[in-house]
């Protein structure tokens, strides 16, 4: 692998380390409803969310 790709890969990995994601599987809810819930929870502390 070239140096440019390795550098971009390393920078992408560093960004992913600081980003926290949650995923919910097997929950039959419409995307519009889930987006409303995600917007309410986004940016809050874990205990408050």
DSSP state of 11: H
Please name the residues in contact with 1: beta carbons below 8 A apart, sequence gap of 6 or more: 9
**Tokens for 35?**
């987006």
Q: How far, in Å, CA of 21 to CA of 13, rounded?
A: 14
Q: What is the mean pLDDT of the chain?
A: 89
pLDDT digits over 26-39, tens only?
989 999 999 999 99
Q: What does the pLDDT read at residue 6?
A: 93
Task: Report the distance separating Cα 41 and Cα 49, nearest Å.
Answer: 5
What confidence category does residue 22 fall into, taking pLDDT thresholds of 50, 70 and 90? confident
| Entry pTM | 0.51
> Lowest mean pLDDT: which of 3-7, 11-15, 20-24, 27-31?
20-24
Alpha-carbon distance of 12 to 17, in angstroms, equals 9
């Amino acid at each position: 692998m070239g140096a440019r790709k390795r550098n971009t890969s390393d920078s992408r990995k560093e960004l992913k380390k600081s980003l926290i994601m949650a995923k919910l599987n097997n929950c039959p809810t419409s995307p519009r409803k889930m987006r409303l819930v995600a917007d309410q929870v986004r940016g809050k502390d874990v205990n408050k969310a």
